[in-house]
Amino acid sequence: MEALNILYIGQNENFISDYGFNHESIGTAVQKENGFLAFNYLIKAKKTIHIIFYESNLSGINPYQFNKRLRSKIKFDTAAFILLNDHLSKKESIYALKQGIDEIIIKPFSFNDYLNRIKFLLEYRQLSATDRKSSKKRREHKIPIIKRVFDVAVAGTALLMILPVLIVTMIAMKIESKGPWIYSSKRVGNGYKIFNFYKFRSMFVDAEERLKDLKGLNQYKTNNDSEKIGDECPDCNDLAIPCSPILFVDGKEICENHHLRLKKDQAVGTFIKIKEDPRITKVGKFIRNTSIDELPQLVNVLKGDMSIVGNRPLPLYEAELLTCDQWSERFLAPAGITGLWQVEKRGGGKMSEEERKRLDNNYGSRQKVGE
């Protein structure tokens, strides 16, 4: 086994003798008192650091934040991160491993006793790094030339053929109400790319102002009708440690899990469904029922934001909730006007959200660079 370079993050000045870091396989063992000093050392270090031992009771940046920052740098992708602790409950252990900690060792311990385990961890990190690089290449999806030519040809031809419909629609919109013809919203497509998603405007321009007088007619249950989610994360309180990486939002610290929970709760509170909604224009109602309002998405296709066939692009808040490994494969496919689940739904009746996500994933997983 090649000589190992070790970084110890902690305040035990006798760590070499106490933890047995005098084994013949050790190349160098360097000590840094806290995570900030350690990270600065790692950034500047010219040699490869194979193993990082981190004392769990240090103040400042906690081991989970440190590990997240570490893994954001590709040069540290193969380093094994080991957390040192005096004691650890089963719940805390499960949490630490979910956060990407490679190993948890209860003190006191001997480095020599863990040598075989450390060798396995290093081999595993090396294989995982190779897999992640391959995955990253797969995620850098570019629409194949043949598919791109098809998209441009179909979208261009369709726009020319429906030009009279577009002109009549725009004239009718202008006669009925003032305002822009096109409504755009931010959507997330392939590789989490954000773009402006185009539709014909189907509401009056003062729809937001009118909404405050119509809230009592909203058919969706709002946040005021249910138990309000508090500012503190219940999981963090139960564990007495952060349940997920700490974020800084609006000058305040909040764990990532609770941040997404709050955003989802806020998103649910923004859903509006009003029977015979007076904010919708007469022209808007017609173009919605006939799907004419979707035709400007052909311009998105010409711009390269979307494809004719692909997974439907999601609003920002929905995409943020699907960044986990379980659902992220849907973003390997290009955003599309129509996709697999829309076709399946036409012949199979009502489709659950889980089934829709699964079909999006299946389509996305088949998309590879150059296909």
Sorted by where each begins, the domain ranges of the chain are 4-139, 145-220+272-365, 221-271
Backbone φ and ψ for 269, nearest 5 degrees, come out as: -70, -15
pLDDT 10s digits, 305-318? 888 887 778 777 66
For residues 251 and 271, give the distance between their C-alpha atoms in angstroms, rounded to a whole number.
28
Beta pairing partners, 198: 184
pLDDT given at position 326: 47
pLDDT 10s digits, 236-280? 887 777 777 666 566 567 877 787 777 766 655 444 556 677 788
Quote the strand ranges of the chain, DSSP E. Answer: 4-9, 26-32, 51-55, 80-85, 103-106, 182-188, 194-200, 246-249, 252-255, 307-309, 314-315, 336-338
pLDDT 10s digits, 61-95? 788 888 888 877 767 778 888 998 888 777 777 78
The answer to whether the CB of 341 falls within 8 A of the CB of 359 is: yes
The answer to whether the CB of 110 falls within 8 A of the CB of 19 is: yes
Q: Identify the CA nearest to 81 among candidates 93, 96, 61, 59.
A: 96
pLDDT given at position 274: 63
Cβ contacts of 51 within 8 Å, gap of 6 or more? 4, 5, 6, 7, 79, 80, 82, 118, 122
Q: What is the mean pLDDT of the chain?
A: 76
The answer to whether the CB of 189 falls within 8 A of the CB of 305 is: yes
For residues 330 and 322, give the distance between their C-alpha atoms in angstroms, rounded to a whole number.
9
pTM: 0.47
Find the mean pLDDT for residues 183-187: 87
pLDDT given at position 368: 47
Give the lowest-confidence range in 50-54, 145-149, 326-330, 333-337.
Answer: 326-330
Angle at which helices 35-44 and 63-71 pack, to 10 degrees?
20
**Residue 154 — pLDDT band, cuts 50, 70, 90?**
very high
Residue 117, CA distances (Å) to 49, 80, 114, 182, 192 in order: 17, 11, 5, 60, 37
The fold of 4-139 is Rossmann fold (3.40.50)
Please name the amino acid found at residue 145.
I
For the chain, percent of residues with pLDDT exceeding 70: 69
The answer to whether the CB of 202 falls within 8 A of the CB of 287 is: yes
The answer to whether the CB of 49 falls within 8 A of the CB of 69 is: no
**Residue 200 — pLDDT band, cuts 50, 70, 90?**
very high
